[in-house]
């Protein structure tokens, strides 16, 4: 096999195993674990060392506790609290746009947005969310190691060349463009986060917050046209995959079929994520599409299977994702329209940002 084929197989096997085990165990917020596994395996990286795995989990956990520290000013000094929240979210996007790890950037964005949105309604719910997300992040990273153990890079043909230990270092980013990109991503995520903070049911919208946080990171370092197209296509890809998977599960509602659907999704989408020794030119769109599929499908499966309530929840969540995507696309074009001295060109995503 070529190294790209090995990575596709690893993505499918690791994500499906993570989904099967997490759903069989049924711990709190178990759908998060396969999302974490998928997010890391969708990058052309070797198995993370212990330090790297701890760093991924720590980025999510510490950012959630950092978000909790924003709750006192948000509740008692709203203007100050909102300004601090804006700065924290802006930094998470600027970190990625200026060349930082997209995995860590997304985890930090998710942690800050989720803890402030849920914590502003209920501290107890926020603490439960922190515990659930941290546990599932640790389990998700564990399945990344298991996937690398079962499908190592050594399976690749020797004449195809070994997989690079790390992606080639990209050119230094333009910090001016990075700041503008971070500002644009902030305008996508902050209004939605604020809306969740004002909602009494924000704890039930965690899957939507995951999608919105990923949308903000997806829009970094891309031109307006490319970012808008990527957001739209990734949501369409994920939505179609989730609808097909949901209807199959209504006919064969078993855990094994569920894991097979998730694995099959990776086998279909994977060749459009990995190409050669690095990434496909449209890798960002397809990897976020696979993420969207899991984020839509997994919480729906955890609802009462086959009931009218589960069907309604699935459709409702699907519509929320569609509206969030349309808002994100509108925000991208509106913000870029007011960019001073702009010259909007579609930029191809760098391999380490996909």
What count of other Cβ atoms lies within 10 Å of the Cβ of residue 160?
Answer: 15
CA atoms of 20 and 9, how far apart (whole Å): 16
Three-state DSSP at 220 gives coil
Q: DSSP characters for 18-84?
A: HHHHHHHHT-TTTTHHHHHHHHHHTSS--PPPHHHHHHHHHHHHHHHHHHHHTHHHHHHSHHHHHHH
Can you list the alpha helix ranges (DSSP code H) found in 157-274?
175-198, 206-218, 224-251, 255-269
How confident is the prediction along the chain (354 residues), in pLDDT tens digits per residue? 789 999 999 999 999 999 999 988 877 778 889 998 998 899 888 888 888 888 888 888 899 888 899 989 988 898 999 999 999 999 988 988 888 888 888 888 888 988 888 888 888 888 888 888 888 889 999 999 999 999 998 888 654 444 444 545 555 667 778 888 888 888 888 888 888 888 766 666 777 788 888 887 776 656 667 777 888 888 899 999 999 998 998 888 889 999 999 999 999 999 999 988 888 888 888 998 998 899 888 877 776 554 556 677 778 778 888 888 888 888 888 877 777 665 444 444 444 444
Contact 317, 300 (CB under 8 A): yes
Exposed/middle/buried for 25, CB within 10 Å: 0-12, 13-18, 19+? exposed
Query: Hey, where are the domains in the chain?
Result: 3-353
CA atoms of 269 and 202, how far apart (whole Å): 31
Q: 127 CB contacts (<8 Å, ≥6 apart)?
A: none
Contact 180, 339 (CB under 8 A): yes
Contact 326, 277 (CB under 8 A): no
Contact 348, 240 (CB under 8 A): no
> From its phi and psi, is residue 164 left (phi > 0), alpha (psi between -120 and 50) or beta?
beta
**Residue for token pair 């178990």:** 30
Please give the pLDDT value at position 325.
85
Q: DSSP characters for 288-345?
A: HHHHHHHHHHHHHHHS-TTSHHHHHHHHHHHHHHHHHHHHHHHHHHHHHHT-TT----
Q: Give the pair of three-digit tokens for residue 65.
A: 């506790």
Q: 53 CB contacts (<8 Å, ≥6 apart)?
A: 141, 142, 144, 145
Contact 234, 289 (CB under 8 A): yes
Q: 16 CB contacts (<8 Å, ≥6 apart)?
A: 34, 259, 260, 262, 263, 266
């Amino acid at each position: 096999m070529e190294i790209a084929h090995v990575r596709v197989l690893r993505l499918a096997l690791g994500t499906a195993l993570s989904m099967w085990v997490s759903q069989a165990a049924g711990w709190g917020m178990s759908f998060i674990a396969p999302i974490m596994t998928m997010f890391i395996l969708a990058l052309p990286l070797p198995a993370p060392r212990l330090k790297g795995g701890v760093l991924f989990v720590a980025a999510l956990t510490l950012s959630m506790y950092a978000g909790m520290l924003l709750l006192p000013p948000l509740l008692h000094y709203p203007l100050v609290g909102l300004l601090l929240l804006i700065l924290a979210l802006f930094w998470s996007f600027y970190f990625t746009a200026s060349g930082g790890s997209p995995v860590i950037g997304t985890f930090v964005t998710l942690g800050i947005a989720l803890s402030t949105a849920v914590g502003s309604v209920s501290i107890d719910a926020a603490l439960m969310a922190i515990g659930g997300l941290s546990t599932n992040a640790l389990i998700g990273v564990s399945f990344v190691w298991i996937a690398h153990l079962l499908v190592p890079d050594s399976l690749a043909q020797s004449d195809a060349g070994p997989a690079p230990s790390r992606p080639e270092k990209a050119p230094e980013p333009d910090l001016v463009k990075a700041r503008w990109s971070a500002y644009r991503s902030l305008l996508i995520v902050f209004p939605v986060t604020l809306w969740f903070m004002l909602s009494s049911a924000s704890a039930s919208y965690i899957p939507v917050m995951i999608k919105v946080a990923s949308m903000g990171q997806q829009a970094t370092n891309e031109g307006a046209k490319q970012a808008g197209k990527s957001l739209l296509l990734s949501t369409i890809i994920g939505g179609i995959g989730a609808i097909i998977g949901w209807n199959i599960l209504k006919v064969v509602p078993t855990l094994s079929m569920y894991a097979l659907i998730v694995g099959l999704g990776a086998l279909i989408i994977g060749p459009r994520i990995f190409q050669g020794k690095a990434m496909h030119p449209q890798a960002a769109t397809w990897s976020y599409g696979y993420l969207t599929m899991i984020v839509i499908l997994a919480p729906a499966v955890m609802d009462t299977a086959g009931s009218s309530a589960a069907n309604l929840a699935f459709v409702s969540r699907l519509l929320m994702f569609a509206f969030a995507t349309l808002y994100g696309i509108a925000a991208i074009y509106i913000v870029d329209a007011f960019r001073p001295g702009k010259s909007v060109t579609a930029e191809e995503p760098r391999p380490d940002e996909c």
